[in-house]
A = this chain, B = another copy of it.
């Protein structure tokens, strides 16, 4: 066990994967000598050299396209996209190629690429250094989507991703890269996909949150306790595959649900969760399902603190759910 920040845990996860398997390599912009703009790849260039830590030209199309080619050939590439906001030049390769390669070839060409990208708001990054578009990837059959909220999960989910056989979109909540620290198991620590983490047990209302929304959701639960409301906080950790069992069990217990995410509301992951609950937990529901999300506007700069959900607004929605009917 070592006390690490989230970004350090990512760094250790990468190092661990590269040490244990010579087929693992990483590629992206400014990840070599510079160690990544968030320092997630710090030290790796020195340890593994330029044949395994590849600084690429400025082309996400090229990064993901070549990573797919490497994976087809049998390597295990991990591509870094500098900010999730810059993944769109690679979107065709991701949704048309990476997600469908195994399927369309009848299983002849599995294609295992991990794409890492820092995402989300809270760093005063404005429109293009703040977005949360996990729903695009969740809606694309063939991709797995993992989002850690703690250092231990960051390393554990990353190592699972690297050893998985399917493409994984690995989204790192950059707002808590350094804001959160925690004990991280040394060595080959793995956290299974499709297994939610019960962050806090409770019986009155279920709060679902992932990534950088977990800390304010826990804070909200703290506020609520003072009012006698015991909120359960659940972090799904992977959106695809989703631990439906844990989610349904929680709502069957509490009868009330609030989903939290930074992404814009319309067609966000909160819609999917609400729809699952409205279908499969319908008879347990005692109140309308709440969503606390980013607004359906582009991500602002000066006013990001008002755009992002916070403990107050999450608590407010939870209260409404508990008071309903």
Also in contact, A135 and B139, with CB within 8 A (given A275-B274, A282-B288): yes
Is A191 in the interface zone, CB < 8 Å from B? Answer: no
Is A72 in the interface zone, CB < 8 Å from B? Answer: no
Q: Is the CB of A282 within 8 A of B287?
A: yes
Q: Is the CB of B278 within 8 A of A289?
A: yes
Q: Is the CB of A100 within 8 A of B271?
A: no
The total of chain A residues at the interface (CB under 8 A) is 50
- A141 surroundings in chain B (CB, below 8 A): 264, 266, 295-298
Q: When each residue 23-38 of chain A gets 1 if its CB lies under 8 Å from chain B and 0 otherwise, what string results?
A: 0000000000000000
Minimal beta-carbon separation of A18 from chain B (angstroms): 30
Of chain B, the residue at the smallest CB distance from A264 is: B141
- A96 surroundings in chain B (CB, below 8 A): 85, 88, 128
Q: Is the CB of A267 within 8 A of B269?
A: yes
Can you tell how many copies of this chain the complex includes?
2
Is A156 in the interface zone, CB < 8 Å from B? Answer: no
Chain A residues engaging chain B, CB cutoff 8 angstroms: 85, 88-89, 91-92, 95-96, 99-100, 103-104, 127-128, 133, 135-136, 138-142, 240, 263-264, 266-272, 274-275, 277-280, 282-283, 285, 287-291, 295-298, 325
Minimal beta-carbon separation of A147 from chain B (angstroms): 14
Extra inter-chain contacts (17) besides given A267-B268, A271-B275, CB under 8 Å: A99-B298, A104-B127, A135-B139, A136-B136, A138-B266, A139-B268, A141-B264, A141-B297, A142-B298, A240-B266, A274-B278, A275-B275, A275-B291, A277-B278, A278-B289, A282-B288, A283-B325
Q: Is the CB of A135 within 8 A of B277?
A: no
User: Which of A96, A297, A298 gathers most chain B CB within 10 Å?
Assistant: A298
In the assembled complex, the Cα of A141 lies from the Cα of B91 at a distance in Å of 18
Minimal beta-carbon separation of A25 from chain B (angstroms): 26
- A136 surroundings in chain B (CB, below 8 A): 136, 139
